[in-house]
Structure 1
Amino acid sequence: MIHESPAFYLAIADRLTLPTKAFIDGSFVAAKSGAVIETVNPATGLVLAAVAHCQAEDVDRTVAAARRAFRSGVWSRVAPEARKAVLLRLAELIRANSTELAVLESLDSGKPIRDCLKEIAIEVPDTFQWYAELIDKSFGKVAPTGEQACALILREPIGVVAAVLPWNFPLLMAAWKLAPALACGCSVLVKPAEQTSMSILRLAELANEAGIPAGVLNVLPGLGETAGQAIGRHGDIDAVSFTGSTEVGRLFLRYAADSNLKSIGLEMGGKSPFIVLDDAELSPEMIDNAVMAAFWNGGQNCSANMRQIVDRSRQEEFLDRVVERAKALVIGAPLDPATELGPLITREHRRRVLDYVESGSREGARAVLSGAAFDSDAPGSFLGPTVFADLAPEMTIAREEIFGPVLGVMPVDGIEQALTIANGSEYGLHATVYTRDIDRALFMARRLACGTVAVNGFTEGDLKTPFGGYKRSGSLARDKGTEAMAQYLQTKTIWLSLDGRYASIPG
């Protein structure tokens, strides 16, 4: 249930005890150096708290605890039903504390409370429940052999896993990685983004209450260049699952090559197209999808469809209706349930997005809506929606990931040009196609070089469907679905040689 009064959530915020210490081996502890990082409320620009700044020495002691827990078998070798029961308890604890978690995340990230509640009250606990229920329904295989052998193919937990998270969906991305990794029996070290550490620290406390043993789940706040690099280079971490920028994803591949060749799962940037063919129905629902595909979460979404490729015959009508809907977006305080668009994560990031807006105008795109002037002198990092028309494929804003509320419309002549331009990107995470012709929809979906194609609706699918990218948007690893388990399991063959003494007995 969503309370419509901002006062309800402000009262919760006033009562919160903000978690600021790292969670290592079952306890909250300061960074060994005593260093801290200030976390700032994006809506006000004011410091919320000083959070532990973990570095290489903290990574070392955490990995040692995680490895000790893994080898002990206290989680990795218990009966599947035992892990299932604990994760189901965790899902219920998240539901019971979802409002507090949502307020904490809204304060820390600037996300609108309505979005935080949807994610944390529904999607996050559902993720833990879904993987918990999968634990005792995942089977190995017996290979076909003659009677002188028996061959078993087993899937075993890979060991110590690090989950490195982005700041745009802190708890949801944590759930996407933690739930399958814990379900598999791994010990996990979580490094949240330095801007958004507090909700995952509170989750660790709930995990402890649910019964996850000490050392199995650890949370280390810290900077990418310190804690993140130490994780990537550590010789006793078996796998890293990373969601973030393509630039940092490259670094993790280098770190793995320079250390123990650990497995690296990557979900990275995107420049996803929203394709409107000439027969598409420009319904209110479709226009709402077009706007939210670009502006949901302030455009701070890897799969945001900011590159909107529209048949030239529909461009002006499409633009008029998109601008009308974008103007109606409610921009405001994150703890107000009416807010649809909150602040960007930092003032620095706001400046980066504005640089892209300026480059669009400089390179010849036509600005039909500008959000640059919205509360430019106000505290925090608010930025209203910007809409460009007449994009060309070579423009910077048509090629690079902006990660802010900037939508660009690119006119095309026909389905073949739409497909060529859509695929003419170094990224390949997501695409949306609008058409009333199922043959054209399948033609486009099969030829778009990306991990998810949505037809007649902007969506990433649901928990049962894998999510990840092609090209520079990712690796073969996937989050969500049964496919997510592959990142956290390794395959073992057991070949039993039999003497065949009974092979000659008939029957």
Structure 2
Amino acid sequence: IRFFAELADKHGGSLAATQTDRLGMQIAEPYGVIAAIAPWNFPLSMASWKVAPALAAGNAVVLKPSELTPYSSLRFAELALQAGIPAGIFNVVQGDGRVTGDALCRHPRVAKVTFTGSTATGSSIMSTCALVGPKPVTLELGGKSPQLVFADVPDIARTARTVAMAITGNAGQVCVSGSRLLIERSIMQPFVEHLRTYFEQLRPGPTWSSASTLSPIISRQQANRIDGIVQRSRQAGAEVLCGGGLFDGLGGAYYQPTLLTGLDNSNPAVCEEIFGPVLTVQAFDDEAEALGLAEHATYGLAAGVHTADINRALRLVRRLEAGSVWINRYSNITNGTAFGGYKNSGIGREFCHETLNAYSQVKTVTVQSEVPTTAWFAPR
């Protein structure tokens, strides 16, 4: 919010190079009304990512939070009113995505839609906006992000912890979760043992409990979906090294951190976005094989590279098809760094200067200093 507030008075347009007898300007103007559809996994953060740049560019916003996590968005809107945002500029409407979200996309006064969520839903929103508009969209969608680990990492235990945290944070319910471990064969066994130890030390429980180190799954339905993919992957030949099911007796939807190996790229656990604490493990022998395994037909949201060789890291950065690539760490989204995906992982970028441009239309204005003597269509 502070980042886009600071940008607001530095955004307005530019001058164009023109002939000496005229002045050319590009003026940035708001679209009008933006429909922002936010997900349930980081409800307040994702709402602010959408609302802040839209308001800074001069638009009004109608925010639809997930029906599973509405409360923080309502409080957000209350605080906006208290802070001085005029009534009617920042609005929250609740409801199911199939009804309320669809109605927002179709509303003739909504000039643009921004959405974070699944690729399937994003495709449906884009189709609807094309049919009733067309109207522009910003889409931040699914991912199946690889983490490439090479044998030259200086500290196996530390790298294993980084890899583990990238899939167990928020119980894996993160679009950029590093859900596919690609590891050089020579260190696979000790690395996996470190992962197994880390996974088995996690303690499930309510997120407000200081004793908890593993979050719950958003719903029993989602937990059952995660388990369904794991079981189908086992039927397709995957071996479960640890986890592989729900925790018993906890009174909630808690899924065991799971390690799967013995997979190829056609296995459901490798192909499908699971959105849970499930990590697939595949071994490689060289960079070429690592890149081949990293390639995903659908997704290109993020990737991690763990190596002591900076030249190798920079080579891989150029060849990995992902909107964000992290070297020797995983997930670092900060002010001013563009966030978005390649392929079916999205359209547009959030959290950066370009985001403000995406919430603006450009109007070209040309001022003639004297009456032209040639027809308007004449060449310069």
Aligned to 2:179: 306
Cα drift, residue 137 of structure 1: 2.2
Matched residue, 2:243:
370
Higher mean displacement: 272-281 or 174-183: 272-281
Matched, 1:161 2:34: yes
Q: Tell me the distance in 2 between the aligned counterparts of 1:255 and 1:299.
A: 30
For residues 56 and 92 of structure 2, what CA distance do their matches in structure 1 show? 18
Q: 2:189 maps to which residue?
A: 316
Task: Please report how far the alpha carbon of residue 280 of structure 1 lies from its aligned counterpart in structure 2 after TM superposition.
Answer: 2.2
Matched, 1:422 2:256: no
Offset, 1:365:
1.4
Q: Give the CA deviation at 1:282.
A: 3.7
Q: Which residue in 2 is equivalent to 1:177?
A: 50
| Contact preservation (8 Å) 1:365, 1:391 | yes
Q: How does 1:445-464 map to 2 (within 5 A)?
A: 445-464=317-336
Once the two structures are TM-superposed, the CA of residue 303 in structure 1 deviates from its matched residue by 0.6
Aligned amino acid, residue 262 of structure 2: D
Residues 241, 266 of structure 1: 8 Å contact kept: yes
Which deviations, in whole Å up to 9, do the C-alpha atoms of 1:327-386 show, x marking residues without a partner? 1122212211232212100000000001111112211111111151522x4422111211
Q: Where does 1:70-469 land on structure 2 (aligned, <5 Å)?
A: 128-375=1-248, 377-469=249-341
Amino acid at match of 1:299: G
CA distance in 1, matches of 2:353, 2:286: 37
Q: Is the 8 A contact 1:144 1:151 kept in 2?
A: yes
1:175 deviates by 0.7
Partner of 2:375: none
Percent identity of equivalent pairs? 39
Q: Which amino acid aligns with 1:495?
A: T
Q: Give, in angstroms, the shift of residue 485 of structure 1.
A: 1.0
CA distance in 1, matches of 2:304, 2:198: 19
What is the Cα deviation at residue 308 of structure 1?
Answer: 0.6
SS of the equivalent of 2:110 reads: coil
Does structure 1 residue 498 correspond to structure 2 residue 369? yes
Letter in 1 for 2:346: G
Report 1:452-491 matches (<5 A): 452-475=324-347, 477-491=348-362
- One-letter amino acid of the structure 1 residue matched with residue 83 of structure 2: A
User: Structure 1's 468 and 201: CA in aligned 2 closer, same or farther, altered over 3 A?
Assistant: same
CA distance in 2, matches of 1:316, 1:159: 56
Taking structure 2 as the reference length, the TM-score comes to 0.95
Q: Give yes or no for contact 1:390–1:411 (8 Å, CA) kept in 2.
A: no
> Displacement of 1:140 after TM fit?
2.0
Task: Kindly provide the CA deviation profile for residues 159-189 of structure 1, in whole angstroms up to 9, marking residues without a partner as x.
Answer: 1001101100000001111111111110000
Contact 1:360 1:395 (C-alpha < 8 Å) held by counterparts: yes
Deviations for 1:121-178, whole angstroms, at most 9, x for unmatched residues?
Answer: xxxxxxx111111112235211122221001111111110011011000000011111
Q: What residue identity is the alignment partner of 2:367?
A: L
Indicate if the aligned counterparts of 1:427 and 1:471 stay in contact, CA closer than 8 A: yes
Superimposed CA distance per residue, residues 72-129 of structure 1 (whole angstroms, 9 cap, x where no aligned partner): xxxxxxxxxxxxxxxxxxxxxxxxxxxxxxxxxxxxxxxxxxxxxxxxxxxxxxxx11
CA distance in 1, matches of 2:114, 2:18: 36
How has the CA–CA distance of structure 1 residues 373 and 140 changed in structure 2, closer, same or farther, with 3 Å as cutoff? Answer: closer
SS of residue paired to 2:51 = helix
Task: Please identify, of 306-315 and 328-337, the stretch whose mean Cα deviation from structure 2 is larger.
Answer: 328-337
**Could you tell me how far apart the structure 1 residues matched to 2:279 and 2:296 are?**
18
User: Counterpart amino acid of 2:284?
Assistant: V
Q: Which runs of 4+ in 1 moved over 4 A?
A: none
**Kept in 2: contact 1:308–1:409 (CA 8 A):** yes
Q: What is the RMSD computed on CA atoms of the aligned residues?
A: 1.4
1:452–1:460 CA contact under 8 A, matched in 2: no
Deviates more, 1:331-340 or 1:242-251: 331-340
Asked if structure 1 preserves the Cα contact closer than 8 Å seen for 2:176 and 2:331, the reply is no
User: Which amino acid in the other structure matches residue 246 of structure 1?
Assistant: T
Maintained 8 Å contact 2:227/2:246: no
CA distance in 1 between partners of 2:13 and 2:103 (Å): 34
Which range moved further: 393-402 or 479-488? 479-488
Q: Amino acid of the residue matched to residue 330 of structure 1?
A: R
Q: Which structure 2 segments of 5+ residues have no match?
A: 373-380
Deviates more, 1:272-281 or 1:399-408: 272-281
Say if 1:367 and 1:387, in contact at 8 Å, map to a contact too: yes
SS of equivalent to 1:141: strand
Q: Any idea what the Cα deviations from partners look like across 1:240-290, whole Å, max 9, x if unmatched?
A: 010000010111111112212111110100000011123223443312110
Matched positions, count: 372
Partner SS, residue 254 of structure 1: helix
Distance 1:360 1:486, change over 3 A: same
| CA offset digits 1:196-215 (Å, max 9, x no partner) | 00110011111010111111
Q: Distance in 2 between matches of 1:411 and 1:144?
A: 55
| Counterpart code for 2:102 | Q
Corresponding letter in the other structure for 1:424 = H
Distance across 2 between alignment mates of 1:445 and 1:384? 32
